[in-house]
Amino acid sequence: MSELRKYRKREPSVVTAVQLALETEGFTYEKWGGTQTCKAGDWLVNNGGEVYTIDRESFERTYEAVSPGVFRKVAPVWAEVAASDGTIETKEGSTEYCAGDYLVFNDAQRSDGYAVTAENFEAMYEPEDT
């Protein structure tokens, strides 16, 4: 693994999202090479056409409302480039990644993580020190 580095979302960057605020046991779906699970209270997100779910606590800690249904990620992330192929466990399930992809974490202790292709990560994020 490479060095863990702090990043922030590039401006302007927003997502559309709706909370699964229903009495439900949730649902599962296949994405990123693994089974993902959404539970009551989690968020269904459309990020530039890429649709996925985010754990309620993680979403509420890292996003802020811009307008009804529109949100901006305001919390920084910490990321490193993967040296080899692998799988990362996420709050929603698991994600397969390839060497060169980014392993992204919502805190510096490498928890609440997920994987993003290098192309997508570099389009969405910039180093915090710029």
pLDDT tens column, 46-57: 998 999 999 999
- Overall number of domains in the chain: 1
Average pLDDT over residues 22-33: 94
Q: What is the mean pLDDT of the chain?
A: 94
Q: In 3D, which of 91, 86, 100, 87 has the Cα closest to residue 59? A: 91
**Which residues are bridge partners to 86 per DSSP?**
97
Q: Supply the range of the domain harboring residue 16.
A: 5-127
Segment 72-99, tens digit of pLDDT:
999 999 999 999 999 999 999 999 999 9
Q: How many CB atoms lie within 10 A of CB 114?
A: 24
Q: Enumerate helices (H) and strands (E) in the chain, giving the number of each.
A: 2, 14
- Our measurement of the distance from residue 86's CA atom to the centroid of its chain's CA atoms, rounded to an integer in Å, reads 17
